[in-house]
Chain A
Amino acid sequence: MSVFVAAHNIISALGFTSEENGEQVFAGKSGIALVADTALSPVEFPAALIDKNRLIKEYDEIASSAEELSHFDQIIRLSANKALNGSGIDASSRKTIIILSTTKGNIGELAKGKNAEQVQLWQSAHRLAQFLNNPNEPMVVSNACISGVAAILMGKRLIDSGKYDHAIVVGADLLSRFVVSGFQSFHSLSAQPCRPFDKNRDGLSLGEGAATVVLTNQQLPAPALEIINGATSNDANHISGPSRTGEGLLIAINKALGEDRAVDFISAHGTATPYNDDMESKAISRAGLSQVPVNSMKGYFGHTLGAAGVIESIISMMSLTANKQVKTLGYSEFGVAEEITIATESKDQHMNKVLKVASGFGGCNAALVIEKHG
């Protein structure tokens, strides 16, 4: 069974459509800016925030604001709506499954006095399904930072099983004091925009995002993008630090690639923490992929948590379609443990197959293979 990408959308600090985001990324623009908002942090910090005024305005055009939904609930509806428009995919069909990828959903509402029941992740998924008139119980994937990649893989697997014809995969996370303070308590945020794989990297930049990928088993005109395979794995090493050997990620990469090791590009997780980037270089090198150009997109979008895997997969898909390689923004001097090939230029580059990887708290890892046909 072949599973294709019918449509997609990205809402981030760089824009509200995949096209807007793609334009900014190919032009080397970053969505990360210094944020001074005491509701998020007592100190200024670099982050990529979404334009909430634009969100309110665009959401108003597609639904009544009488429901008084949170920004999170609005943005997942908006992104799904934008992706589905013109896609030809029936969101209300019994053969369509909705999959929501998020780490913290409406957690920011806790501080506003909402009770626990109101911030449940499945409530957000229900609101999304209701908006799309979908009759099935939606799925929520909450696997830390691999959620987005894992959710796309779930969609692929569920369609493969024959149970569904289409999957609407929405990945989203917004920033809140809850999330920002947590990363600050770990001292994992850089005081500057992040520098993936760079010798002087010192931490990640957070970002907000909502993105949708619509998958289908329907044949699509060339150049069609196919989700070939994927896998998840665990390091079995530490709950917050990555494996020193890249063991878990290597297992996921090997399972995702299978016998056919030829891949033209790797979209890494590249959070710019000292340990993550080293670990990825080890896994990529051990997988025999040292010569394959690698990028991290965290310099454009920041780390968008539950949205990251979806946003970055979409940019990878756009790279395939346009035959354009995207450079690693924020990188200047090589600084990881194993010799891998960092993409340092955004340029025309013929490519057919991309490997997307991600790793997260809990020692989880995910890998996904996306191929262009025709």
Chain B
Amino acid sequence: MVDGQLFFESDEATFGAFAKAIYKHLGCKYSKFYKMDSLSKLGFLGAEILMQNQANDLRDDETALVFCNRSSSLNTDVKYQETIKDIPSPAVFVYTLPNIVIGEICIRHGIKGEAAFFVRESNDPAFMVDYVNLLFASTNTKQCLVGWLEMDETGNYEANIHLAVKEKCDNR
């Protein structure tokens, strides 16, 4: 769903297959996508859709990313834990940090601004809105990709993200 309208739907049963379907639907050509873990793919695809509408005249450090979830990188953590039994995998280990999704989005879009990854029991939009407004008020942030990016250890997921833009105030 994008701006309340259905953007894309698919019968794919697993996130992996669904993600690939969205990727193809978007006409993406970004081979790094295939190395990403599920949380990073989730965030990458959400950003891919939202950033189509981003302002064009911003400096690379004026865009911020603020994400939150409840499971951190647990989806990948349990996969990495399995590799320890045999040969620990660096390709999996690198994704055992929730902020890597921020790194992937920054690389894709050349974003160098403020970033934060929070972990909370449940989605709290008021908390996120407060923090984004704080960034708008006290830093040079002019737009912010913000929201809930959850990928739990069983593969249940939810992405609810927005591109927030700082309003221009004439009386500032």
Q: Whole-angstrom distance from the CB of B147 to the nearest CB of chain A?
A: 16
Q: Are A364 and B103 in contact (CB under 8 A)?
A: yes
B88 interface residue (CB < 8 Å to A): yes
B114 touches A247 (CB 8 A): no
Tell me whether A143 is interfacial, beta carbon within 8 Å: yes
| Also in contact, A120 and B107, with CB within 8 A (given A141-B118, A157-B138, A233-B113) | no
- Choose among B78, B97, B115, B120 the residue that contacts A103 (Cβ–Cβ < 8 A): B97
Q: How large is the interface on A (under 10, 10 to 19, 20 to 34, 35 or more residues)?
A: 35 or more
Kindly identify, within residues 69 to 126 of chain B, every residue whose CB is under 8 Å from any CB belonging to chain A.
70-72, 74, 77-78, 80-81, 84, 87-90, 93-94, 96-100, 102-104, 106-107, 109-121, 124
Given A121-B119, A236-B106, A361-B103, also A116-B94 (CB < 8 A): no
Which residue of A163, A178, A362 is within 8 Å of B102 (Cβ)?
A: A362
Interface flag for B130 (CB, 8 Å): yes
Place the interface of chain B in its size category. Answer: 35 or more
* B12 interfacial contact with A, CB 8 Å: no
Q: Are A185 and B90 in contact (CB under 8 A)?
A: yes
Instruction: Tell me if B111 and A236 are in contact (CB < 8 A).
Output: yes
Question: How far, in whole Å, are A119 and B81 apart by their CA atoms in the complex?
Answer: 13
A251 contacts B61, C-beta separation under 8 Å: yes
A163 in contact with B88 given A143-B99, A247-B112 (CB within 8 Å): no
* A184 interface contact, C-beta 8 A: yes
**Residues of chain A contacted by B96 (CB below 8 angstroms):** 104, 178, 182
Which of A71-79, A237-245, A296-304 is near enough to bind chain B?
Answer: A237-245
Contact across chains for B119 and A122 when beta carbons are under 8 A apart = yes
Do B89 and A185 touch across chains, with their CB atoms under 8 A apart?
yes
Cβ of B118 and Cβ of A139 under 8 Å apart? Answer: yes
- Please list 14 pairs of residues, one from A and one from B, whose beta carbons are closer than 8 Å in the complex, sorted by A's number: A107-B77, A120-B72, A120-B119, A140-B118, A140-B119, A163-B130, A178-B81, A181-B93, A186-B94, A232-B114, A361-B100, A362-B99, A362-B100, A363-B106
